[in-house]
Amino acid sequence: MTEIDHKDLIYKVNSLMKENQELLKEVTKLKKNKEVLTANIEKLENILAQIPPDLLPQDSNISIGETKLKFNMVTILFIDIHGFKKISEGKNAQDVIDELDQIIFNVNKVAKKYKLQIIKTIGDTYMLAGGVPVKNITNPIDVVMAGVEIANYVQKLHNKYNEMGQEFWEIRLGINTGDVKASASGKKKFNYDLKGETVNTATRMAASSEIGKINISANTYVLVNEYFECEHHGHLPVKYEGLLEMYYVDRLKPDYSEDPNETGLIPNHTFQVKYALRRFADLQEIILDKLEKELPEYLYYHNYKHTIDVVNQAELIGYGEKVTDEEILLLKTAALFHDAGHTISYQNHEYYGCQIAKEILPKYNYTDEQIEKICELIMATELPPKPKNTLERIMCDSDLDYLGRIDFIPVSNTLYDELKAQNKMGTLNDWNKIQVKFLTSHQYFTDTANKLREVNKEKQIERIKSTIEWNSEEERLKFEEELLKIAEASEQRKKEILEKSKD
């Protein structure tokens, strides 16, 4: 082989090796893309399975086959309707069916009211579930409320037919809360099938109930006994499970009922506030997810972590200031939305946060009056703070709580990085000067915040001062004189604000 042939061969081999390496890279890339696509398909199928059928387009040809799901907290209501043999004597079959339809119609109506999923109907048994397909933390309360309403409705019909000397259908209700495995299948309309010990226990609760009674498990009892009158009535021996404690639910407690001397079916304002505070966890999860996905990447300070911090502080300072439960709800909700406007615009984000709140909160049964107060609290976080009342003072202190904490400098640096990324800030030295002025002018408005944080503020100022580089001693002295004026003006402004808020 000549030298030229040898070189040509080496060149071809090198070319083939490079081509092979490129192909391997492409194969690896395709494999990774396939893994990502497969994961996304599974995720989308899971999301799709949780969308209520009535939200899908009517002309949709979507079919999900069968998707396996897992729900960590679902409440099952099992209804056992019986008495056919007794009530069919002397009646034609159509009358008997019509009477049963009255119960079924009411059950469906109540299920829709409390957003419960109809799982299956087998003859004269009915199974509903709360927390499926949309997960929520209030489903134990929702299901028990539904059970109380259904039981009262059937009891009224029973009394009506007895007055006419006729028999009527009887029901037993059983409720249990726990985790379930679910499968969703169907085209356009999804059907859900729930399995597991939680379902089995609910059926046992119904079978062990008395006629017209609502029998709940200990799992459900611990989640609802604050709101409902419950009576322990024994236990149920279950193979491999031991003894299951059982409780009868009668009605809402008088303190939570609009009609304390009657059926206990109508929740009062106190109940609605308690319920909303509990439901806040669901709302918070949705908004934090929105912030995490939609906030610009350069928001190193105004991110979802800051929102969590302000929500926690609003609750802490609120309780410290002895505000009511409803006011705690308003504060936490305002804190949750106060920076949501950043998903739309950095400027005027408080205004946009109010618009988002006005769009979302009605879906969570906030009243127009509550939403208006929440928006006022959000707008109170505009700088410089000028709170007009106790709740606005709490809100302002919660938003700037970090100023008096030990982690002030690292948190402050994230705000610097955020402004720097938008070309809104110069050098770190310039930033430190601004921070000293801001800290000097800042005042906490509530006694609770002052007790918790004000002690550290002077230390913060001295720590930052020690990092500032001065061009001359004259510049430093001039800066100190300016700080004295800022401090005096700030103290005077705080006095004026507090005096106005008292009025």
pLDDT (tens digit per residue) in 166-187: 878 889 999 999 998 877 666 5
- Helix (H) and strand (E) counts in the chain: 17, 8
Helix, strand or coil for residue 300?
coil
Which H helix or E strand runs over 406? none
pLDDT number for residue 494: 78
Q: What angle do CA 264, 267, 269 make, to 5 degrees?
A: 140
Residue of 328 and 50 predicted with greater confidence = 328
Q: Which two tokens stand for residue 221?
A: 């009892």
> DSSP assignment of 100-132, as one string?
HHHHHHHHHHHHHHTT-EEEEEETTEEEEEESS
Q: Cβ(249)–Cβ(216) under 8 Å?
A: yes
pLDDT number for residue 332: 98
pLDDT number for residue 344: 96
pLDDT number for residue 357: 97
Strands 63-82 and 170-187: antiparallel
pLDDT at 209 over 70: yes
pLDDT number for residue 257: 93
Q: 117: closest CA among 49, 207, 215?
A: 49
pLDDT band at 503, cuts 50/70/90? low
pLDDT number for residue 62: 47
Q: Cβ(194)–Cβ(181) under 8 Å?
A: yes
Query: Which are the contacts of 163, defined by CB distance < 8 A and separation ≥ 6?
Result: none
pLDDT number for residue 14: 62
Most confident of 42-51, 157-166, 216-225: 216-225
Q: Cβ(193)–Cβ(120) under 8 Å?
A: yes
The torsion of the CA quartet 230, 113, 154, 264, rounded to 10 degrees, works out to 40
pLDDT number for residue 41: 57
Most confident of 6-20, 28-42, 304-318: 304-318
Fold of 274-502: Catalytic domain of cyclic nucleotide phosphodiesterase 4b2b (1.10.1300)
pLDDT number for residue 147: 97
pLDDT number for residue 15: 66
Number of neighbours of residue 357 by Cβ within 10 angstroms: 24
Question: How far is residue 359 CA from its own chain's centroid?
Answer: 16
Which of 57-61, 195-199, 230-234 has the weakest average pLDDT? 57-61
Residue of 256 and 34 predicted with greater confidence = 256
For residue 447, the number of C-alpha atoms closer than 13 Å in the C-beta half-sphere is: 4
Q: Which two tokens stand for residue 372?
A: 């208006």
pLDDT band at 42, cuts 50/70/90? low
pLDDT band at 90, cuts 50/70/90? low
Distance in angstroms (rounded) separating the CA atoms of residues 119 and 183: 11
The b-or-e profile of 321-345 (16+ CB within 10 A means b, else e) is: bebeebbbbbbbbbbbbbbbbbbee
Q: Cβ(493)–Cβ(443) under 8 Å?
A: yes
Distance in angstroms (rounded) separating the CA atoms of residues 130 and 145: 11
pLDDT at 2 over 60: no
Q: Cβ(150)–Cβ(176) under 8 Å?
A: no
- By percentage, how much of the chain surpasses pLDDT 90? 53
Residue of 213 and 120 predicted with greater confidence = 213
Question: How far is residue 28 CA from its own chain's centroid?
Answer: 40
Give the predicted TM-score (pTM) of the model.
0.80
- For the stretch 378-427, pLDDT in tens is 999 998 888 999 999 999 999 999 888 888 888 999 999 999 999 999 99
- For the stretch 97-145, pLDDT in tens is 788 888 889 999 999 999 999 887 666 688 999 998 888 999 999 999 9
pLDDT number for residue 95: 77
Average pLDDT for 234-247:
84
Number of neighbours of residue 396 by Cβ within 10 angstroms: 27
Helix, strand or coil for residue 62?
coil
Distance in angstroms (rounded) separating the CA atoms of residues 348 and 329: 24
Mean pLDDT for all residues in the chain: 85
10 Å CB burial of residue 399 (0-12, 13-18, 19+) is: buried
- For the stretch 319-371, pLDDT in tens is 999 999 999 999 999 999 999 999 999 999 999 999 999 999 999 999 999 99
Distance in angstroms (rounded) separating the CA atoms of residues 138 and 278: 7
Strands 117-122 and 125-130: antiparallel
The b-or-e profile of 86-121 (16+ CB within 10 A means b, else e) is: ebeeeeeeeebeebbeebeeebeebbeebbbbebee
**Amino acid letter at 37?**
L
Q: Which two tokens stand for residue 288?
A: 């934090």
pLDDT number for residue 9: 58
pLDDT at 270 over 60: yes
Q: Which two tokens stand for residue 201?
A: 């226990």
- Dihedral sign computed on CA atoms, order 308, 356, 46, 38: negative
Distances (CA, A) of 347 to 284, 351, 352, 381, 496: 24, 9, 9, 13, 28
pLDDT number for residue 497: 74
Fold of 59-267: Alpha-Beta Plaits (3.30.70)
The DSSP letter of residue 262 is T
Average pLDDT for 227-231:
96
Which of 75-79, 109-113, 158-162 has the weakest average pLDDT? 158-162
